[in-house]
Amino acid sequence: MPTTSSSSVHATVSFAKEADVAPDVLSPQPSEKKANSAQESESFVTGDIQTTSQLLKAVDDIYRKCDKDTATVKSLVSSVADHFGLSTISKEMKNSIKERICLLNKSNQYGYVITYAAKRYKQKRFRRDENLSVVTREASHPQYCQLLEYICYVIEEPDAYKLHELVVEIEDELFPVKKKKWVCKVEGCSSTARGGGYCVTHGKKT
């Protein structure tokens, strides 16, 4: 009897050990999890019908909710990557996102178009004065370049629109627009006084 009981106890213990070990053996190991996640991300990038539809849906949602004045194609691509928790994305995936954005732009179903440059920044242009062009301006006024360098140094990755606003302020200070003094056009008259657009001396509009 003692022998039988000891053998049965031994069998029970060995069975318990196997039961304890089995879940660990069956559960995926960290290396296997990494491999699976890599396969999933790879299949997502190349994409079958299901994963491609998920990608396109994400692009549509982000396109619809974005700020139309400041959003760019680059920022939308980054937003899609963040949406799926991807630090880097493949060239193929970027192209797929850009193609989708292009289709949404053509459809114009949301009433706006996302471009490679911020819309508000693209519409604004540097002011040109009469004497200096934008090209010769920097050479003639080195402090203009110094101020731009200072702005880029102080502001890490400056927003294009905000940077442009600062540049406009700098231009206003360095290149003030000179208003032409009104002078009567009547020959021989140099009167600069007028009222209601009329020369005070001659009483006629010039």
- Looking at the fold, whether 162 and 200 belong to one and the same domain comes out as no
Mind listing the pLDDT tens digit for each residue in 163-187?
Answer: 666 666 766 666 666 666 666 777 7
**11 domain-assigned:** no
Residue 161 lies in a domain: yes
pLDDT score of 86: 83
Q: For residue 87, tell me if it sits in a domain.
A: yes
Same domain, 168 and 195: no
| 41 within a domain of the structure (yes/no) | no
Residue 63: band (very low, low, confident or very high) from pLDDT cuts 50, 70, 90:
very high
Q: How many structural domains compose the chain?
A: 3
Cβ atoms of 198 and 185 closer than 8 Å: no
DSSP of 72-105, one letter per residue? -HHHHHHHHHHHTT-S---HHHHHHHHHHHHHHH
Is 77 within a domain? Answer: yes
Angle between helices 142-154 and 160-174 (to 10 degrees): 150
Q: Which residue range is the domain that position 190 belongs to?
A: 179-206
DSSP letter at 10 equals H
Let me know if residue 93 belongs to a domain: yes
Whether 21 is covered by a domain: the verdict is no
Residue 160 sits in the same domain as residue 203: no
| Shared-domain flag, residues 199 and 164 | no
Interval 42-55: pLDDT, tens: 334 433 334 788 88
- The reply to whether 18 falls in a domain is no
